[in-house]
Chain A
Amino acid sequence: MSSVASPASAAAPSSPEPLIVARGLTKSFDGFEAVKGIDLEVRPGEFFGFLGPNGAGKSSTMRMIACVSPVSSGTLRLFGLDPARDGARIRARIGVVPQLDTLDTELSVQENLWIYGRFFDLPRSECRRRATELLEFAQLSDRADSVVEHLSGGMKRRLSIARSLINDPELLLLDEPTTGLDPQARHVLWERLYRLKQQGVTQVLTTHYMDEAEQLCDRLVVMDQGRIVAEGSPRELIDRYSTREVLELRFAAGTNDQHGALLAGIGDKQEVLPDRVLVYADDGEAALSEAHHRGARPESALVRRSSLEDVFLQLTGRSLVD
Chain B
Amino acid sequence: MSTVLRIVPETFVVRRPHRMIERHVVAYRRQWMIVFSGFFEPLFYLLSMRAGVGDLVGDVRVGGRSVPYDAFVAPALMASSAMNGAIFDSTGNVLHRLKYARIYDAALATPMGPADVAVGEIGWALIRGQVYAIGFLAVMAGLGLTESWWSLMALPVCALIGLTFASIGFLGTTYMRGWSDMDIVNTAMMPLFLFSATFFPISSYGDWGWVVQLSPLYHGVALVRAANAGVWTGSLVVHALVLVVISVVALVLASRRVDRLLRR
A is bound by B: yes
Q: Is B41 an interface residue (CB 8 A)?
A: no
Stretch at the interface among A88-96, A237-245, A262-270: A88-96
Q: Is the CB of B109 within 8 A of A66?
A: yes
Tell me which residues across on chain B come within 8 A of A29, comparing CB atoms. Answer: 264
* A107-B27 contact in complex given A69-B264, A98-B105, A121-B16, C-beta closer than 8 Å: yes
Q: Is the CB of B109 within 8 A of A70?
A: no
Q: Which residues of chain B from 102 to 117 have a CB within 8 Å of any chain A CB?
A: 102-103, 105-113
CB contact between A121 and one of B23, B103, B111, B263 (< 8 Å): that residue:
B111
Q: Which residues of chain B from 1 to 52 have a CB within 8 Å of any chain A CB?
A: 1, 3, 6-7, 9-10, 13, 15-16, 19, 22-23, 26-27, 30-31
How near does chain A come to B88, taking the closest CB pair, in angstroms?
16
Task: Give the size of the chain A interface in residues (CB under 8 angstroms).
Answer: 35
Stretch at the interface among A108-116, A221-229, A250-258: A108-116
Q: Is the CB of B110 within 8 A of A104?
A: no
* A102-B30 contact in complex given A68-B109, A88-B111, A121-B16, C-beta closer than 8 Å: no
CB contact between B31 and one of A91, A92, A96, A106 (< 8 Å): that residue:
A106
Q: Is A4 an interface residue (CB 8 A)?
A: no
Question: Which chain A residue shows the least CB distance to B116?
Answer: A119
Q: Which residues of chain B from 239 to 264 have a CB within 8 Å of any chain A CB?
A: 262-264
Q: Is A314 an interface residue (CB 8 A)?
A: no
Q: Is B211 an interface residue (CB 8 A)?
A: no
Q: Is the CB of B7 within 8 A of A91?
A: no
Q: Is the CB of A88 within 8 A of B26?
A: no
- C-alpha spacing A115/B22, complex, angstroms: 8
* A116-B3 contact in complex given A88-B15, A102-B105, C-beta closer than 8 Å: no
CB contact between B102 and one of A71, A100, A118 (< 8 Å): that residue:
A100
Tell me which residues across on chain B come within 8 A of A40, comparing CB atoms. Answer: none
- C-alpha spacing A69/B108, complex, angstroms: 10
Q: Is the CB of B107 within 8 A of A107?
A: no
Tell me which residues across on chain B come within 8 A of A107, comparing CB atoms. Answer: 23, 26-27
Q: Is B57 an interface residue (CB 8 A)?
A: no
- C-alpha spacing A84/B264, complex, angstroms: 13
Q: Is the CB of B26 within 8 A of A119?
A: no
Q: Is the CB of A104 within 8 A of B16?
A: no
List residues of chain B with CB under 8 Å of any chain A CB: 1, 3, 6-7, 9-10, 13, 15-16, 19, 22-23, 26-27, 30-31, 101-103, 105-113, 262-264
Q: List 20 A-B contacts (CB under 8 A).
A: A63-B264, A68-B105, A68-B109, A68-B262, A70-B7, A72-B3, A84-B7, A85-B9, A88-B15, A88-B113, A91-B109, A91-B111, A98-B105, A102-B109, A104-B23, A106-B31, A115-B22, A115-B26, A118-B22, A118-B23
Extra 9 A-B pairs, beta carbons < 8 Å, given A69-B263, A88-B112, A102-B105: A70-B263, A87-B113, A88-B10, A89-B111, A102-B101, A104-B23, A118-B23, A119-B107, A119-B110
